[in-house]
Amino acid sequence: MPLNVPIVENILSANDRLAQENHARIDAAGVFSINLMASPGAGKTSIIEQTLPRLADKLRVAVVDGDIATSLDADRAEAAGAQASIQINTGGECHLDAVMLRGALEQLDLKQFDLLIVENVGNLVCPADFRLGTHKSVLIASIPEGDDKPYKYPGMYRGVDALVINKIDLLPYINFKMDFFQRGVEALNPGIVTFPVSCRTGEGLDAWINWLMQNVKRNGD
Amino acid sequence: MHELPITQSVLEISLRHAQQAGAKRITDLYLLIGKLSYVMDDSIQFYWDMIAKDTIAEGATLHFQRVPVELLCLDCSCRYPVDGETLACPQCASTRVKVAAGDEFRLESIDIETFDQSDANVVEK
């Protein structure tokens, strides 16, 4: 006679459990952490390059870089002033998961830092499903990607805590309807904090830096 | 999405619970998957047939229950299904909404066969 055994367990629970462990570890060290996600070429590394010099003398920053191959991004983060940068090569995986971040955390003396920036693999689909254990998730959109991205990648736009819109200096040259884009964002993620910036001209970056500083301060209190 | 690691996770969870329940065999698995979770049923079944081989879950049937998307309006508390056209609240047109259903991704239960008395005798020998 078959017997029904109730389970009710989240299928990605193994990753979620590890993400909670990562979170506890980062939190215990008093570090504020963000998971930076975007499509390839939106400007994840450029944001990091623009952010680090503006935080110099204020915050000690570690960067963990996820890429399928090469250490180009970790090298750029280090050149921009990261106190430590760790490259994770996912070997084909299209996203970071909690296990990979745990491996990187083990290489860092977390107490030495105020801010941990995790740069995920460029991808608007899979990183949304794998929690890492960071405090906040940040999505970087960019003007050349087009204004339809919230509608096409709802899972990503729904799950993030802050949105950076990069390359706004290109608005005059590209048919990007900001109203249409923001309506999509608002429907999926009402009230999300948004930073229109240009990494090329530096426009809008002060607000982004302030948001980071406030979060680091709040986390330390 | 990532059907192979997902299928491995389903196998790991079901074997763990089956062992705790003293199962001889897992015959059926019941999965609850919201329509916001991009998972291909056929692909999971395909991997399942490969990775469950030589376990007590070999040959088990996977049942997928799909949950339609429902939103909850944060302004007027109206709960409504999404028709694919608009996401705004049909009652008050607000776009301050949150997902109320449709992002589930769970293994709900499994059917198992347990060792009966004659099996127990066999095991003791």
Residue B59 belongs to some domain of the structure: yes
Residue A130 belongs to some domain of the structure: yes
ipTM for this model: 0.78
Q: Which two tokens stand for residue B28?
A: 């059926």
Kindly give, in sequence order, each residue whose CB lies less than 8 Å from that of residue B42, ignoring residues fewer than 6 positions away.
Answer: none
Confidence band, pLDDT 50/70/90 cuts, at residue B13? very high
The residue in chain B having the minimum alpha-carbon distance to the alpha carbon of residue A10 is B106
| 8 Å CB contact of B2 and A126 | yes
Question: Which pLDDT does position A173 carry in this prediction?
Answer: 97
CATH code of the domain covering residue B30: 3.30.2320.50
Residue B41 belongs to some domain of the structure: yes
Residue B81 belongs to some domain of the structure: no
Distance, CA of A102 to CA of A128 (rounded, Å): 18
A window 117-136, beta carbon within 8 A of B: 125-126, 129
Which domain covers residue B58, as residue numbers? Answer: 3-68+102-114
A179 touches chain B (CB under 8 A): no
A92 touches chain B (CB under 8 A): no
Residue B95 belongs to some domain of the structure: no
Q: Please, are residues A163 and A194 in contact by the beta-carbon 8 Å criterion?
A: yes
pTM: 0.82
| 8 Å CB contact of B6 and A11 | yes
Q: Where are the beta strands (DSSP E) in chain A?
A: 3-10, 32-38, 61-67, 84-89, 115-119, 136-142, 162-166, 193-196
Residue A122 belongs to some domain of the structure: yes
Q: Which two tokens stand for residue B25?
A: 């065999």
Question: Which pLDDT does position A1 carry in this prediction?
Answer: 72
Structural domain count, chain A: 1
Q: Please, are residues A29 and A220 in contact by the beta-carbon 8 Å criterion?
A: no
CATH code of the domain covering residue A136: 3.40.50.300
| 8 Å CB contact of B95 and A10 | no
Distance, CA of B78 to CA of A152 (rounded, Å): 25
Q: Which two tokens stand for residue B26?
A: 């897992």
Question: Which pLDDT does position B124 carry in this prediction?
Answer: 41
A3 touches chain B (CB under 8 A): yes
Residue B54 belongs to some domain of the structure: yes
B62 pLDDT more than 60: yes
Q: Please, are residues A65 and A93 in contact by the beta-carbon 8 Å criterion?
A: no
How do beta strands B23-34 and B105-114 pair? Answer: antiparallel
Question: Which pLDDT does position B95 carry in this prediction?
Answer: 77
Mean pLDDT of B18-46: 91
The residue in chain B having the minimum alpha-carbon distance to the alpha carbon of residue A191 is B96
A104: distance to nearest CA of chain B, Å? 21
Residue A2 belongs to some domain of the structure: no
Structural domain count, chain B: 1
Per-residue pLDDT of chain A (221 residues; tens, 9 = 90+): 789 999 998 888 888 889 999 999 999 999 999 999 999 999 999 999 999 999 999 999 999 999 999 999 999 999 999 999 999 998 888 899 999 999 999 999 999 999 999 999 999 988 988 899 999 999 999 999 999 999 999 889 998 999 999 999 999 999 999 999 999 998 888 889 999 999 999 999 999 999 999 999 998 87
Does residue A205 sit in helix, strand or coil?
A: helix
Which domain covers residue A75, as residue numbers? Answer: 13-214
Q: pLDDT tens-digit profile of B63-103?
A: 999 999 999 998 999 999 987 667 788 999 887 888 899 98
B125: distance to nearest CA of chain A, Å? 23
Measuring CA to CA, which residue among B101, B46, B95 is closest to residue B74?
Answer: B95
Residue B97 belongs to some domain of the structure: no
Residue B85 belongs to some domain of the structure: no
Q: pLDDT tens-digit profile of B88-98?
A: 889 998 878 88
Measuring CA to CA, which residue among A79, A1, A33 is closest to residue A212?
Answer: A33
Residue B86 belongs to some domain of the structure: no
| 8 Å CB contact of A2 and B27 | yes
